[in-house]
A and B are shown apart, each in its own frame.
Chain A
Amino acid sequence: MTRPILNLVDVTRDYGNATVIGPVSFSAEQGEFISLLGPSGCGKSTLLRCIAGFEPVNGGRIELNGKDVSREAPHRRRVGLVFQSFALFPHLTVARNVAFGLRLRRTGKEETARRVGETLELVGLSHLADRYPAQLSGGQQQRVAIARALVLRPEIMLLDEPLSSLDAKLRLHMRRELRAMQQDLNMTFVHVTHDQDEALAMSDKIVVLSEGRIEQMGSPREIYDRPDTRFIADFIGSSNLLEISEIEPAGDGMWSVRLNEDQRIVIAADADPRQSGRHWLSIRPESLSIGGEDTVSGSCLTGTAIGHSYGGDRTEIFVRLDGAQSDAPPIVAHADRSFDGRVALTITGPGATFVRA
């Protein structure tokens, strides 16, 4: 296996007595796009600032290309950083913003001009080289911020919620563009976001953080299809979470699950969910197929449709399961029409998994 370009080992960060991060360990391979994903306050931005050197680490180490940089000053680390606020130099033109780092490295005039030109071309801003940041739109400013970091050919690029200040249409466009750029350059990107759609769409690997710790780490598909915990199942996409009262092996990798007196269902799982302490069932709404009472079969959940919400390409049906506690949230299932009265829910997709509390 190749040496990871970025390697975090047991990194911790405290503010006085409060631990805000860690210990956290993960690594990034050359050319990987990694998203640090989590709700606000989970420590993802702090972690990014630790990698850039703006926050000291209290324990563990951060290795860049095999070298421990944990104690190195920010200006000595070769990491590119795109700020959420872009943080362009307002007194310099676009070209001079991009040339800033080259100027500090005493790059020759001709080479500076050539590399600034190339990089501006890459982000499609050649025609705006002589403008000042205040004369640019948000999307253009962001491209300048990216170009300013890219021009130094850093070993990794860090992006702190780079899309959050753009409007919705532009955000979707920049998602594709950033990803394409990263793949073309075969550069390692570490991207912080609280937007799970963004993380799923852009990343090779997602590191989900919660309260300063890694909750789960894996490819977007693994994270979505095989959530480890209730938190992940609920945070990434939406999910129906049901507490299990009894699990029995049904043979052939199938498990018979009892939710309450009235509800029994058969679910597939590779390993014995009882051994890993997975006492909750997560079922994606799109993996529930809904039918009238006449469709009740051996392995289905039964209940009463209590409402629906039309969403254009699908309709969400809210179902109160038989035997469910009165304060439990209703089950959500996707359908192509509305339902009333008694219904049966069958699991059709891969979206039913055992998760830990």
Chain B
Amino acid sequence: MRARTGLLFVPYLLLLLAFLVVPIAGLVEISARNQSVTSIGGVGLTMANYQRVFEGFYLDIIFDTVRLAAIATLIGATLAYPLAYVIVRSQPLARTVLTCLVMVPLMTSVVVKVFGWFILLGRGGPAVRMLQKLGIEVQTLLNTEPSVVVGLVEFALPFMVFSLVPALDRISPAVEEAAANLGATPFQTFRLVILPLSASGLTSGALLCFGISSSAYVVPAIMGGHAVRMIAQQIYDDVLVAFDWPAAAAFSIALLVLLSVLIFAALRASRRATDV
């Protein structure tokens, strides 16, 4: 890259420095202090906050977060492939309509969407009444892990679809037909041709989905109630309920490191898979 082209990157670097690097440095600083009633940012110097991250309570939250985000990502990918495939193989008009349909949820606030689920799945809602008519005694479908996964999947699905569309667009229909001609069933064509050829889109979509899901706050807080606790909820509670900023900062840094490691690993794995 020529030096002058590199100049184009400078404004972004400045933004990054002012609004990401500096705050994170602040976060690191706070995370190494003791909680104090006199100073909200804490006092002294300690590693105790990081030790607590590896204690049972926090470790369980991390584990649950990773597990729920992974499940949501997996379900999201499973739902997104057929959607993205239909979009890619549609005529231009249908393609536009379908793309808009997938995009609409992105333009709706997550709070609005979550309250939609709240009415649909909650106490006295249509889903509950239907189950009761079928003789299944439930009061609410909310406040469970599955309800949180539903919310996470709905939130993350468009990102998965829009990551897969350009990857699938690059696969010529003739290549799929060639696989069928050589004896591949539609499922074999997917597994042996479409999946490997769209691996890059799947990786970026999965990273987006996982990143969005594992840092979600509104969805687990409202749809999970007391049954589910994810990292963002705990950080929120530490900041605004317990006024323990150092603990919240340490947990935030832990989440950041965890996501960075996972993203790095996923990108390396996908590069090895597609770099031929």
Contact = CB atoms under 8 A, between A and B. Distances in A.
A104 B188 contact: yes
Interface string A66-96: 0000000111100111011101111100000
A310 interface: no
B175 A152 contact: no
Nearest to B176: A87
A152 B182 contact: yes
A83 B276 contact: no
A188 B172 CA distance: 28
Given A89-B193, A91-B197, A100-B192, A81 B183 contact: no
A21 B184 CA distance: 28
Nearest to B186: A75
Given A83-B177, A85-B174, A91-B276, A104 B182 contact: yes
Nearest to A145: B178
B177 A152 contact: no
A100 B181 CA distance: 11
Contacts of A85: 172, 174
B180 interface: yes
A81 B181 contact: yes
Give the most central of A53, A79, A87: most B CB within 10 Å: A87
Interface residues of B, number: 19
Contacts of A88: 175, 178
A83 B182 contact: no
B179 interface: yes
A106 to B, nearest CB: 10
Interface string A139-154: 0000000001100100
B181 A104 contact: no
Nearest to A73: B180
B196 interface: yes
A253 B200 CA distance: 73
Main DSSP-derived SS at the B contact region: helix
A132 B275 CA distance: 11
Contacts of A149: 181-182
Contact of A104 (B178, B183, B196): B183
A53 B178 CA distance: 12
A52 B181 contact: yes
B185 interface: yes
A149 B181 CA distance: 9
Contacts of A74: 177, 180-181
A109 interface: no
A26 interface: no
A100 B182 contact: yes
B179 A100 contact: yes
A89 B178 contact: yes
B260 interface: no
Interface of B: 172, 174-175, 177-185, 188, 192-193, 196-197, 274, 276
Instruction: Report, nearest first, the 9 A-B pairs whose CB atoms are least far apart.
Output: A101-B182, A87-B174, A87-B178, A74-B180, A104-B183, A81-B181, A75-B180, A87-B175, A91-B196
Given A54-B177, A74-B180, A81-B181, 6 more contacts: A75-B185, A76-B183, A83-B178, A88-B178, A90-B197, A132-B276
27 contacts: A52-B181, A54-B177, A54-B180, A74-B181, A75-B180, A75-B182, A75-B184, A76-B183, A79-B181, A80-B181, A81-B181, A83-B174, A85-B172, A87-B177, A87-B178, A88-B178, A89-B175, A89-B193, A90-B276, A91-B196, A91-B276, A104-B182, A132-B276, A148-B182, A149-B182, A152-B182, A152-B183
